[in-house]
Each structure stands twice: as structure tokens, then as C-alpha cells.
């Protein structure tokens, strides 16, 4: 039988291992979680952000290196964060994530895409040696805070909401696939009609149609200086009308004389033709 003193050391080692195992596995991660609610924190300070998905094998391989790099965040004065694109589709559209994993560096609101090696050492050198200065920042038009990217974020959120509704119609309500598509088609038509009516109403309010009104004649009292030329024009028109009326009267008198002379001639010629017949 072994003496009790020889069992002290193995028991102490076993207790240390048992007490240290939960601490190592339950250790709090230094990686911060970014969501649609707190993403504006990225606009201040220096950040390294990873966009990942749980089902992505490359993202799973990167996690140990990213966790180790986060332990150096306090020494390097950089915040290490990650975004799950499956739970935050709005941020996926805001940053235009087309490949996984995608890593961004942010310094005082300027975003740069990291495309170097994905190891702990490379991440540390990228921050400590300020290699990010050699990368052109993202244009302000495509920055996550721009109107364009905010619209993209809303579009991605809408697509995720539509997908959730589609799954709800099929799985929970038991509708066929074509029934779900019919519901979305009707909703699209109704929303288009309502949007068109709203646009017409806004256009009428901003740019009302102007009806043509008859232009009033200039009054003689308001324009005393211009009344004299108007009087001259009226007098000339009256004189022309009088001349025309005199000419018409003369023409009528001439035609009446000619008509009477012709009638007299016909009367005088008539009896002579009768005597010639006899």
C-alpha cells in the first residue's frame, strides 16, 4: 500500500487540471459582436471586422486565428469584431459582402478591405506597421453610411423578410409554392398602385397644373399715353370703312344705270324683231 504522502502530488495536479479546464473553455471572447443596432460604433476609433457565416468552412478555419488576434487588441489599441451575415443581412448589403470570409479595416470612419494573409502574425503586422495606409479607402459613395448603401441595406432586409414570409406560408400555413407566389404577386401589384397614387398626389401638390385664362384688354384709363395711337388707328379704320362704303355705293349706282340701259335697249329691240317676222 502506497504511503499517503505519495498521493498528495498527483491529487494536486488533478485538481489543477480539473479547475483549469472549465476556465480555459469558458473564457470570454475578446471579439465584439456587431449588429444592425450598434454598427455605427465602427465609425469611431480603429477596427478590424470579419464577416462570416457559420456554415462556411473557410470561416471556421479562420476563427482560431481571429480569436488569437483579438487577444492582442488591447495592446494594439484596435477593436476586433465580427458579423454573422446570416443574422445581420442588413450589414451584408451595407458592406456589399460577396465572398466569405471578408475582412475590413476601419480607421475614423474610413473603410479599407483587407486582402492579405489570414494569420495572427499578419493581422498584428497589418496594424502595428500601419500597412493599411497602402490600401485605397472605400469611396464615400459606397461607404456604409451613405444613402446608396443604406438603400442596399434596406433591400437586403426586405429580401430576408420576404424569404421568412415565404417559409411561413409553406411550412406553417401549408400553402403550396404557387400559392405563396400568388400572394406576393398580388401584394406587389397593390403596393405599386398605392405608390403610383402617392406619386401623382405629390406631383400635383408640388407642380399644380395652370389653366390658361383669357388676357384682359388694356384699358384706356390705365394707359393714357398709349390711348393716342389707339385713337389714330381707330380713326384710320373708320376712314377706310367710309371710303369702302362710298366705293360700294358708286359701284351699286353704276350697276343700276347699266341695268336700266340694258332694259331700255331690250324694249326698243323687241318690236323691231316682231315687224321683221311679218
Of 55, 66, 77, 83, nearest in space to 29 by CA: 66
Catalytic site includes residue 59: yes
* Length, in residues, of the chain: 278
DSSP assignments along 165-220, one per residue:
HHHIIIIIS---HHHHHHHHHHHHHHHHHHHHHHHHHHHHHHSPPPPP-PPPPPPT
- Its sign, for the CA torsion 64, 67, 72, 76, is positive
3 state SS of 84: strand
Strand, helix or coil for residue 73: helix
Q: Are 36 and 91 in contact (CB under 8 A)?
A: yes
**CA 72, CA 70: separation in Å to the nearest integer?**
5
Asked whether 20 and 69 are in contact (CB, 8 A), the reply is: no
CB atoms within 10 A of CB 106: 24
Cα atoms in the Cβ-side hemisphere of radius 13 Å centred on 26 = 6
Catalytic residue among 56, 106, 165, 198: 56
The number of beta carbons lying within 10 Å of the beta carbon of residue 28 is 5
Q: What is the maximal distance between C-alpha atoms in the chain? A: 192
Q: Tell me, yes or no, if 205 is annotated catalytic.
A: no
Pick the catalytic residue from 59, 106, 198, 205. 59
Supply the residues annotated as catalytic: 56, 59
Amino acid at each position: 500500500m502506497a504511503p499517503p504522502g505519495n498521493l498528495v502530488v498527483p491529487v494536486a495536479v488533478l485538481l489543477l487540471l480539473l479547475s483549469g479546464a472549465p476556465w480555459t473553455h469558458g473564457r470570454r471572447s475578446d471579439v465584439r459582436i456587431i449588429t444592425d443596432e450598434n454598427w455605427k460604433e465602427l465609425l469611431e476609433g480603429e477596427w478590424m471586422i470579419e464577416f462570416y457565416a457559420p456554415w462556411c468552412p473557410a470561416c471556421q478555419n479562420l476563427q482560431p486565428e481571429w480569436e488569437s488576434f483579438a487577444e492582442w487588441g488591447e495592446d494594439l489599441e484596435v477593436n476586433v469584431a465580427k458579423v454573422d451575415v446570416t443574422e445581420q443581412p442588413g450589414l451584408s448589403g451595407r458592406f456589399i459582402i460577396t465572398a466569405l470570409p471578408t475582412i475590413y479595416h476601419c480607421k475614423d470612419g474610413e473603410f479599407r478591405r483587407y486582402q492579405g494573409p489570414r494569420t495572427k502574425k499578419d493581422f498584428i503586422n497589418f496594424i502595428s506597421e500601419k500597412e493599411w495606409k497602402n490600401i485605397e479607402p472605400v469611396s464615400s459613395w459606397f461607404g456604409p453610411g451613405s444613402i446608396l448603401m443604406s438603400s442596399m441595406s434596406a433591400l437586403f432586409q426586405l429580401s430576408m423578410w420576404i424569404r421568412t414570409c415565404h417559409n411561413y406560408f409553406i411550412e406553417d400555413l401549408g400553402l403550396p409554392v404557387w400559392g405563396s407566389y400568388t400572394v406576393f404577386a398580388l401584394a406587389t401589384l397593390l403596393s405599386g398602385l398605392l405608390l403610383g397614387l402617392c406619386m401623382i398626389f405629390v406631383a400635383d401638390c408640388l407642380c399644380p397644373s395652370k389653366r390658361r385664362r383669357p388676357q384682359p384688354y388694356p384699358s384706356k384709363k390705365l394707359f393714357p399715353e398709349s390711348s393716342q395711337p389707339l385713337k389714330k388707328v381707330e380713326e384710320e379704320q373708320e376712314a377706310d370703312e367710309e371710303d369702302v362704303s362710298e366705293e360700294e355705293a358708286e359701284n351699286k349706282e353704276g350697276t343700276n344705270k347699266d341695268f336700266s340701259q340694258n332694259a331700255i335697249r331690250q324694249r326698243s329691240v323687241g318690236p323691231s324683231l316682231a315687224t321683221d317676222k311679218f
